[in-house]
Structure 1
């Protein structure tokens, strides 16, 4: 079963779907996206939770979505994740994504149960990226955007193979951290065993 516009159609006005990518990795920023479909009669086949899609499908759908929908991107840096925590940083990125839409909204549909505090009416939707097309589209925009950022960072620090693992805690990534130490792009308050306790070399 694919997400649809049932949630959006149950409300009135201009509705944005919001989701994030990158809460779990050991390195890199957290990225959120907000998406508004003004014309819900336009069908893009295959929109789904980004985690259920292949890389090729995500990139194809990303290009389709940005061609017909209004979207905003919000990023919280590793410095903000280290200074606050990942939950606070995620909410910051969501607020920035909504601000960057530059649209007055009537409702905001947010994936999960811990939405940001914004001036619009917010409906948190658990499993929202499997229910709402707007949220699922936001998950695709956020994921593709973050993957592109990590691929760019990969060329600065190729030893960690972020091009492939996108900063997640794969075995090869953890082995690289143990061998080379951490970079300024690593989240110092994250596992494994807190990156603060792992070699402090900067490669």
Structure 2
């Protein structure tokens, strides 16, 4: 996948609202593979909805979202699943980790589907992100910031054309945010992947090619 395009896309709940000012909603916007995008938003303007629309978890929107010119509404479920497995990654704002599983088990669930990362690579990222001691700890006993780092590693355990990151550093200190940014930049360059980051305040410190207001 090389291009994600939005054409006059708008959450259905926003239909009928006057005076929507946005670089994304009700516009024609294209995200290109290999580029980095920051979408800045106020709370309640639909940034998590946007990520869910692109990822295919929700379809309560007007307009068209297309991958390489194909309307994603027409994709059968099997194709959506394959895209999520081989092309499109996601770090959800609410993380969607399994509290009863350990940090490694949460990552392993994803990696088993793709076989994309070696265990030693995952361990290296845990060490760099300061959570090596949480490897065998159940996620439910970890802080939200620690969980964010686990979810970040999990998001990288697959082939990627694009990766969506919804407020990935909301609970991280600047040092860990910098480490996350470095790892993401390195992996995006290796894979030629596009990166789409959302934020309502604290931004993942990347060299963005374009910044948009939602």
| Bigger RCO (CA 8 Å, 6+ sep) | 2
Q: Would the TM-score normalized by the shorter structure come out above 0.5?
A: no
**Richer in helix (by share):** 1
**Richer in strand (by share):** 2
User: Normalized against structure 1, the TM-score is what?
Assistant: 0.28
